[in-house]
Structure 1
Amino acid sequence: MNLRRLKYFVTIVDTGSLTQAAEVLHIAQPALSQQVATLENELDQQLLIRTKRGVTPTEAGKILYSHARTILRQCEQAQTAVINAGQAMTGKVSIGFAPGPAASSLTMPLLQTVREQFPDVLVYLHENSGASLNEKVIDGQLDMAVLYDRAPAAGITSLPLMKEELWLVGTGLCPGQSVDLADVARTGLFLPREYSAVRKRVDEAFALRRLSARIVGEIESVATLSAAISSGMGAAILPESAARALVSSTHAWMVRITNPTLNLPLSLNFSARQPLSPAAQSVKSILLALLNQPALEDRPLQLVS
Structure 2
Amino acid sequence: MNFRRLQYFVKIVDIGSLTQAADVLHVAQPALSQQLATLESEVRQQLLLRTKRGVTPTEAGKVLYRHAQLILRQCAQAQADMNAAGRALSGSVSVGLAPGTAAAGLALPLLRAVRIRHPDVVLYLNETYGMTLSELVMSGRMDLAVLYGGRTPVHGLSFQALLSEPLYLVGPDSLGPAPGVTPVRLIADMDLYLPRPYNVVRKMVDDACAGLGVAPRVLAEIESASTLKSVIAEGLGATILPESMAREVAATCPAWISRLVEPEIQAPLALCQSDHLPLSEPAQAVRDILLELVGDLPGNVLGDHAYKP
- 1:44 is displaced (CA, Å) by 2.9
- The 1:11/1:259 distance shift into structure 2, 3 A limit, reads farther
Q: Counterpart of 1:125?
A: 125
- The 1:131/1:214 distance shift into structure 2, 3 A limit, reads same
Q: Aligned to 1:302, what secondary structure does the other structure show?
A: coil
- The 1:54/1:255 distance shift into structure 2, 3 A limit, reads farther
- The 1:64/1:176 distance shift into structure 2, 3 A limit, reads same
Q: Counterpart of 1:180?
A: 183
**Bigger CA drift: 69-78 or 258-267?**
69-78
Q: Does 1:223 align with 2:222?
A: no
1:188-232 Cα deviation digits (max 9, x unpaired): 211111221111111111122221111110011112212222232
Unaligned runs of 5+ in 2: 303-309
* Contact 1:134 1:153 survives alignment (8 Å): no
- 1:88 is displaced (CA, Å) by 1.9
- 1:54 is displaced (CA, Å) by 7.3
Alignment of 1:1-305 (within 5 A): 1-13=1-13, 15=14, 17-18=16-17, 22=21, 25-27=24-26, 30=29, 34=33, 35-48=35-48, 57-100=57-100, 102-150=102-150, 151-171=152-172, 172=174, 173-174=176-177, 176-293=179-296, 297=297, 301-305=298-302
TM (normalized to structure 1)?
0.87
- The 1:46/1:119 distance shift into structure 2, 3 A limit, reads same
1:3-23 Cα deviation digits (max 9, x unpaired): 23323443455x464389739
- The 1:132/1:101 distance shift into structure 2, 3 A limit, reads closer
- Cα distance in structure 1, aligned partners of 2:192 and 2:67: 42
Unaligned runs of 5+ in 1: none
- The 1:213/1:102 distance shift into structure 2, 3 A limit, reads same
- Cα distance in structure 1, aligned partners of 2:160 and 2:20: 36
Max Rg structure: 2
Q: How many residues align?
A: 298
**Bigger CA drift: 200-209 or 137-146?**
200-209
- Cα distance in structure 1, aligned partners of 2:17 and 2:158: 34
- Cα distance in structure 1, aligned partners of 2:258 and 2:22: 53
- 1:113 is displaced (CA, Å) by 1.4
- Cα distance in structure 2, aligned partners of 1:24 and 1:179: 63
- 1:148 is displaced (CA, Å) by 0.9
- Cα distance in structure 2, aligned partners of 1:277 and 1:259: 45
- Cα distance in structure 1, aligned partners of 2:123 and 2:224: 25
**Bigger CA drift: 157-166 or 119-128?**
119-128
Give the partner amino acid of 1:228.
Answer: V
The CA RMSD over aligned residues, in Å, is 2.7
* Contact 1:101 1:245 survives alignment (8 Å): no
- 1:25 is displaced (CA, Å) by 4.1
* Contact 1:160 1:304 survives alignment (8 Å): yes
1:215-269 Cα deviation digits (max 9, x unpaired): 1100111122122222322211111111111111111211111100111111110
* Contact 1:170 1:230 survives alignment (8 Å): no
Q: Aligned to 1:193, what secondary structure does the other structure show?
A: coil
* Contact 2:110 2:290 survives alignment (8 Å): yes
- 1:286 is displaced (CA, Å) by 0.9
- Cα distance in structure 2, aligned partners of 1:53 and 1:240: 50
- The 1:109/1:64 distance shift into structure 2, 3 A limit, reads same
- 1:290 is displaced (CA, Å) by 1.5
